Structure 1
């Protein structure tokens, strides 16, 4: 028999007896818009009402779901992933853990495996990773290309990514393709010409890895200018491996986000604070590469908009866990639990320039995560414990529920 409290996108339901609701609708100096003893009313996949459980508007047709005093947060918004790829790089990871230095060139290993993989193989891997993300509370995903580095493969990566998300990013300028070794400018011409023309119909964004070992500021500008002319929004990988021009280029061109931001000068921080470009921090990379963590406290204190994302990829951060990103940000980067949860939800939405996700307010998508915990603090406090109890995306319940919940209560 099916669970009578299970919901799909067409069901009107009232999630009530919420111990702590994070709305991200700022109030009285609280950017998380925290409501205690709360309820959320959902209809047709959207939030209709959210607030005190004592003030719920009458809705006799609503299915009532008792949250049991648990906390609810908006679905996590993972604004930086690379989920379409072939093979893995476990041996590279083991070598790093044995002391080898991380460098950008390992991407080419994944390029070879991805080119050799069939569409069915890539689609199956992608589908499994999306299920994994959903089970951990991620309801919105950005997915990049970048493991094809030729016209045909980049196009199919974008097409496959577009099957599962509207936020597809063209990253043909990930590294220089092996066929163009020592001819980086020629490769940029390919990226900004035939490759862009093939991929743009499937993408919303364009990105470039502006870094030593990848693309110079001049080359990066060519890529971003071409993408913008084709109608794509701008994103930048920058300042991951050392100080460089990525952050300033992103701000100058009005990028929605610049991602990594590990090495920042005072001028970089000031420029970010004066802009609406989001600094997306990716602590899974530092965990997996033993690089220094970015200083989130420095950015937040300066007034920079900060997002957290997983950078899920087979080389430098093979994790899809946004709760892990929250815990690492709190433990290693100077963020409070509230700041980290905001960055993993509303911050990610800002990085994607979306107002319909990352919040719990009337009109927003009903993307909700019910935690098996009384407060969002447990996402950092109980590191590594599967606290995601139930997940709704667009009002539709995702997957199976947390099998560990009863043993902990």
Structure 2
């Protein structure tokens, strides 16, 4: 085979237990062969196939893992909410009302400016190792603006979610049901051809259970697959509705009952946890340990948005999840890679088994554990997406541990 050989890998996370140890399928002193944009072989260096590749990259004993799969993002927006963040850090609570500020700015922005913001954030995410990213609409809240948001995001990702039911816009104040009718009809007709997913912010101050069900039913009727903002600000029906609709994921999942946890564990709905939101709002973190111990499939995502989690950095989310949410380093890395792929119902991403898309991250560290062990340090040295290098190795000399 002719392709790329990544050789001399100190620790390789494959997320394929048939290839290595534990759920991460860990291999030491390993190598990886990429051909035609997919993984052609992975295993110990001593077993590299003859003539495996025409190009060789020496990993220098460093760690390699799958690209991060960020399954929850709000990248199509305009404007800035620095003042809101500063106010929260001064003691004011987060109530989600600032979404309307972003709606006004997004409506006023040009298509070029909106697309430019998405491009910058996707590139930023890629530099920190994110090779698959989801993007929602939800800051336009008119038929034309929601359609435009999805169209500009489509230039950067196939994982597009229609979130017309984000909040009720000002022109529909006190007429929430009328707005739901618009979402379920004209707005979905315009947006469904571009989107893959349908989402609703099921929360007090946004949309109640009946309204959420109505939007999800309308989306499913047009071929979209549900995912749901659920139980972020307090207890509510979101998790149960997500399971009821066989949603790919229930996102946030911060305030859950035993019944909610049991429902998730008995379903194929992934609990997608968004530690950046709690970090940025000083809200209680979800109890990942409780979910994992119950057998719930857990993903981690960045939730990049201008109000409550303005980060694209998945290594940061991994570190926070380990420190604040009682996840182990292995669990957090799995959740940020294969967990995210499960939340997007992707079989080609989040792992480095044979046939997977060759989304590969080289760390300037000997182990994936360093992602949480060395928080805030830019450890992503090189990224390949579909076998194509996204940039040069920024740290060619492997770091020697000290101290």
| CA pair 318-405 structure 1, distance change in 2 beyond 3 A | farther
Of 11, 27, 33, the residue aligned with 1:20 is: 11
**Partner deviation per Cα, 1:318-351 (whole Å, 9 max, x = no partner):** 0000000100000000000000000000000000
Residue from 296, 309, 313 that aligns with 2:305: 313
Once the two structures are overlaid, the 10-residue window that deviates more, 143-152 or 59-68, is: 59-68
Query: Corresponding residue for 1:373?
Result: 365
What corresponds to 1:187 in structure 2?
Answer: 179
Q: Superposed, which structure 2 residues align to 1:290-301 within 5 Å?
A: 290-301=282-293
Task: Tell me how far 1:26 sits from its aligned partner.
Answer: 2.0
Matched, 1:397 2:368: no
Q: Which moved more, 1:57-66 or 1:113-122?
A: 57-66
Q: 1:25 to 1:115 in 2, by over 3 A?
A: same
Q: Quote the offset at 1:158 in angstroms.
A: 0.5
Going from structure 1 to structure 2, the CA distance change for 1:60 and 1:304 (only over 3 Å counts) comes to: closer
- Report the equivalent of 2:67: 75
1:298-321 Cα shifts (integer Å, max 9, x gaps): 000000000000000000000000
> Residue by residue, what CA displacement relative to the aligned partner does 1:187-213 show, whole Å, maximum 9, x if unpaired?
000001110010111100000000000
- The alpha-carbon deviation at position 60 of structure 1 amounts to 5.3
Indicate if the aligned counterparts of 2:5 and 2:53 stay in contact, CA closer than 8 A. no
Question: In 2 relative to 1, CA 213–60 (structure 1 residues): closer, same or farther, beyond 3 Å?
Answer: closer
Q: Give the distance between the partners of 2:264 and 2:275, measured in 1 at CA.
A: 19
Distance 1:314 1:401 in 2: 30
Could you tell me how far 1:62 is from its partner in structure 2?
2.2
Contact 2:38 2:356 in 1 (8 A): yes
Asked if residue 338 in structure 1 is aligned to residue 351 in structure 2, the reply is no
Q: 2 CA distance for matches of 1:29 and 1:297?
A: 22
Deviation at 1:61, TM superposition (A): 4.4
Deviations 1:118-137 (A, max 9, x none): 01111111111111000000
Q: Determine which of 196, 203, 215 is the counterpart of 2:207.
A: 215
Q: Does 1:48 align with 2:48?
A: no
Q: Please give the alpha-carbon distance, in whole angstroms, between the structure 2 residues aligned to 1:68 and 1:378.
A: 16
The residue aligned with 2:136 is 144
Structure 1 partner of 2:109: 117
Q: How far does residue 105 in structure 1 lie from its aligned partner after superposition?
A: 1.5
**Structure 2 CA distance for aligned equivalents of residues 120 and 401 of structure 1:** 31
Shift of 1:406: 4.8
Matches within 5 A, 1:122-271: 122-271=114-263
Give the structure 1 partner of residue 27 of structure 2: 35
In the aligned structure 2, how far is the partner of 1:60 from the partner of 1:26? Answer: 23
Work out the CA distance in 2 between the residues paired with 1:201 and 1:219.
Answer: 22
TM-fit CA distance, 1:58? 1.4
> 1-side partners of 2:398 and 2:33: how far apart?
29
Aligned-partner Cα distance in 2 for 1:136–1:81 = 15
RMSD over aligned CA atoms reads 1.4
What does 1:275-290 align with in structure 2 at a 5 Å threshold? Answer: 275-290=267-282
TM-score scaled to structure 2, two decimals? 0.97
- Secondary structure of 2:356's counterpart equals coil
- TM-score, normalisation: structure 1: 0.96
Q: Take 1:60 and 1:375, find their aligned partners in 2: how far apart are those partners?
A: 25
CA contact (8 A) 2:228 2:238 kept: yes
On the 8 A contact 2:365/2:398 being kept in 1, the answer is no
Once the two structures are superposed, residues 21-70 of structure 1 have per-residue CA deviations (whole angstroms, 9 ceiling, x without a partner) of 00001248711000111111001111101111111111254211110000
- Match of 1:105, SS? coil
Question: Structure 2: how far apart are the matches of 1:373 and 1:162?
Answer: 34
- Unaligned stretches of 5+ in structure 2? none
- Gap regions ≥5 residues in structure 1: 1-10
C-alpha distance in 2 between matches for 1:293 and 1:178:
30
Distance in 1 between the 2:173 and 2:370 partners?
48
User: What is the distance in 2 between the residues matched to 1:197 and 1:161?
Assistant: 18
